[in-house]
């Protein structure tokens, strides 16, 4: 029986690297994978999953209006697909998480989602909230704070390195805009 998985972490824990490695492992054994990423994350180009260590792969894109159930059902019709992998899963809608659960339940294809749990203000992303509620398996991918503790939060910074405490939930960026911290250091910086 296939399952819906949510692998989450703070920024810079290697989520995309783990996703690309999982896809490689399937393909190395002659199995097909279907990769997705959020259209709005175009840091490496639209439809690209790229890790900080240089791994990359092309992926289909999803937006809020994308019907993932219909798209995946059509893509796998008459072809054997062994896994669906979704990067930037925090940008999924609740409806899309239900669609991915249906892929696992009705098409018997495992769905592995990788994304952030919370935003820079410590709030759940809608996609992450739905994944935490609906996933069969939750896995935290760990990274560390500058103090050595587990980093589970991020702060957003401006070009001068000053912490930004308010703003839109979604602002695409990497090390240029975000710093992963443990909860204690996040509280100190956001306080």
The residues annotated with a catalytic role in the active site are 88
Specify the long-range contacts of residues 181-185, CB closer than 8 Å, at least 24 apart. Answer: 181/10, 181/145, 181/146, 181/151, 181/153, 181/154, 181/155, 182/145, 182/147, 182/149, 182/150, 182/151, 182/152, 182/153, 183/152, 183/153, 184/147, 184/149, 185/145, 185/146, 185/147, 185/149
DSSP line for 25-49: HHHHTT--EEEEEETT--TT-TTEE
What are the phi and psi torsion angles at 109 (to 5°)?
-115, 125
Give the Cα separation of 127 and 21 in Å (integer). Answer: 23
């Amino acid at each position: 029986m296939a399952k819906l998985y949510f692998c989450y972490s703070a920024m810079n824990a290697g989520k995309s690297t783990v996703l690309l490695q999982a896809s490689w492992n399937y393909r190395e054994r002659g199995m097909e994978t279907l990769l997705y990423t959020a259209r709005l994350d175009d840091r490496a180009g639209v439809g690209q999953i790229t890790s900080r260590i240089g791994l990359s792969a092309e992926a289909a894109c999803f937006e809020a209006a994308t019907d993932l159930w219909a798209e995946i059902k059509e893509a796998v019709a008459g072809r054997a697909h062994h896994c669906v992998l979704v990067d930037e899963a925090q940008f999924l809608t609740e409806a899309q998480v239900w669609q991915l659960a249906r892929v696992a339940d009705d098409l018997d294809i495992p769905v592995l989602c990788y994304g952030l749990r919370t935003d820079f203000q410590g709030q759940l992303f809608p996609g992450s909230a739905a994944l935490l509620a609906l996933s069969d398996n939750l896995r935290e991918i760990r990274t560390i704070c500058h103090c050595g503790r587990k980093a589970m939060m991020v702060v957003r910074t401006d070009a001068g390195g000053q912490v930004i405490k308010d703003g839109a939930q979604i602002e695409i960026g990497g090390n240029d805009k975000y710093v992963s911290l443990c909860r204690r250091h996040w509280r100190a910086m956001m306080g």
